[in-house]
């Protein structure tokens, strides 16, 4: 079945360039009305210009689609609230939010200034949270919403020189996990995309032959599924150069020790058993872990938890 977005309204942050532009063009091509948000700064977050967003709006209009530009800085809540107001005034609803805007301030942790850490956290974490907060009430009232966070392999697995960026990108997984639970009742699905694409963010990192394989369009196909009506929720989709995979957070079964055996030495002695992945599971929420731990201890002691 063809995935369409007719009558859907989407906000894509950082849509003036790179992946955001590609997501916006793809959404508009399948019928969505799209807000092209972009502050228009440099890769490190300095400066601002409306040109990039306006160019994408023109491109969408030229192809017969519907779009409008917005220059809000996602890290400034007042501007974000105005963007949401502007969208509601124009199109009456907001179905899709793609939190894509991002900056880089790569440095080894030894050389990283507090400001480099704070700016990156501000744009990725506070920016995504503020845009989500501003549309949350609208989506609850509509009883429909699709929100995508943009995470990164850097946060999921680590990357040399990206302590700030990695911390920010992993924080978005924590935000997704809880918003998935709180949004369920209102049919708000929250997912995360871990992209890999040739953009100004990555153009210096790889040779030309590799960059030519890493098309933004391949990533946008995955993003479109994550914000579609049939989208899953609380998933991390890894997408790049035509490969699509999921990253999952599992917990091993673990080992229970009686009170007298709960020592660091015993933990060291059983380390491979503690880390054994056979029988591992993906808890549905934090409380599942607590219940597993309490169940093991209560069973051993013959206590009924009620």
Residues near ligand NAI, by CB under 6 A: 13-14, 16-20, 37-41, 43, 45, 52, 73-75, 100-103, 123, 127, 150, 152, 195-197, 199-202
**Can you name the residues that pair with 67 across neighbouring β-strands?**
34
Which residue of this chain has its Cβ atom nearest to ligand NAI in the complex? 18
Annotation marks residue 165 as catalytic: yes
Question: Residue 39, Cα to own-chain centre: how many angstroms?
Answer: 19
Q: How far is the CB of 303 from ligand NAI (least distance, A)?
A: 47
Q: How far is the CB of 287 from ligand NAI (least distance, A)?
A: 30
Q: How far is the CB of 198 from ligand NAI (least distance, A)?
A: 7
Backbone angles phi, psi at 260, to 5 degrees: -70, -15
**Using CA atoms, how far apart are residues 92 and 24, in angstroms rounded to an integer?**
19
**Whose Cβ is closer to ligand NAI: residue 32's or residue 35's?**
35
**Whose Cβ is closer to ligand NAI: residue 169's or residue 189's?**
169
User: Strand 66-70 vs strand 33-37: parallel, antiparallel, or unpaired?
Assistant: parallel
Q: How far is the CB of 275 from ligand NAI (least distance, A)?
A: 28
**Whose Cβ is closer to ligand NAI: residue 22's or residue 233's?**
22
**Whose Cβ is closer to ligand NAI: residue 166's or residue 183's?**
166
Return the number of other C-beta atoms located less than 10 Å from residue 110's C-beta.
6
Rg (CA), the chain: 22
Angstrom distances, CA of residue 90 to CA of 32, 66, 93 = 14, 11, 9
**Using CA atoms, how far apart are residues 251 and 282, in angstroms rounded to an integer?**
6
Question: Residue 3, Cα to own-chain centre: how many angstroms?
Answer: 21
**Using CA atoms, how far apart are residues 6 and 9, in angstroms rounded to an integer?**
9
**Whose Cβ is closer to ligand NAI: residue 32's or residue 80's?**
80
**Can you name the residues that pair with 246 across neighbouring β-strands?**
237
- Pick from 133, 254, 153, 164: which is nearest to 202 by CA? 153
CA atoms within a 13 Å half-sphere pointing along the CA-CB vector of 297: 11
Judged by DSSP in three states, 281 sits in: strand
Judged by DSSP in three states, 88 sits in: helix
Q: How far is the CB of 171 from ligand NAI (least distance, A)?
A: 12
The two tokens of residue 101 are: 């805007």
Catalytically annotated residue among 165, 186, 225, 256 = 165
**Whose Cβ is closer to ligand NAI: residue 112's or residue 297's?**
112
Q: How far is the CB of 20 from ligand NAI (least distance, A)?
A: 5
Catalytic residue numbers? 165
């Amino acid at each position: 079945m063809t995935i369409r977005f007719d009558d859907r309204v989407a906000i894509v942050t950082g849509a003036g360039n790179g992946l955001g532009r590609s997501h916006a063009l793809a959404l508009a091509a399948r019928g969505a009305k799209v807000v092209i948000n972009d502050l228009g700064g440099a890769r490190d977050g300095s400066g601002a210009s409306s040109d990039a967003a306006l160019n994408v709006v023109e491109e969408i209009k030229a192809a017969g689609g519907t779009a409008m530009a917005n220059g809000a800085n996602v890290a400034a809540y007042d501007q974000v609230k105005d963007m949401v107001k502007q969208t509601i005034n124009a199109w009456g609803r907001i179905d899709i939010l793609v939190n894509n805007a991002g900056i880089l301030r790569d440095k080894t942790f030894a050389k990283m200034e507090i400001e480099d850490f704070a700016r990156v956290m501000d744009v990725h974490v506070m920016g995504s949270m503020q845009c989500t907060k501003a549309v949350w009430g609208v989506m609850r009232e509509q009883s429909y919403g699709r929100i995508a966070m943009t995470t990164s392999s850097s946060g999921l697995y680590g990357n040399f020189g990206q302590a700030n960026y990695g911390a920010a990108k992993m924080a978005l997984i924590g935000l997704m996990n809880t918003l998935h639970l709180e949004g369920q009742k209102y049919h708000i699905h929250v997912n995360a995309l871990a992209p890999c694409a040739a953009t100004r963010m990555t153009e210096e990192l790889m040779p030309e032959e590799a960059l030519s394989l890493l098309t933004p369009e391949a990533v946008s196909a995955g993003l479109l599924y994550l914000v579609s009506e049939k989208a899953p929720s609380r998933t991390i989709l890894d997408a790049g150069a035509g490969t699509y995979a999921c990253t999952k957070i599992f917990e091993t079964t673990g080992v229970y020790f009686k009170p007298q055996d709960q020592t660091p030495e015993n933990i060291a002695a059983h380390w491979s058993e503690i880390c054994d992945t056979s029988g591992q599971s993906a808890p549905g929420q934090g409380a599942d872990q607590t219940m597993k731990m309490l169940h093991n201890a209560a069973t051993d002691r013959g206590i009924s938890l009620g």
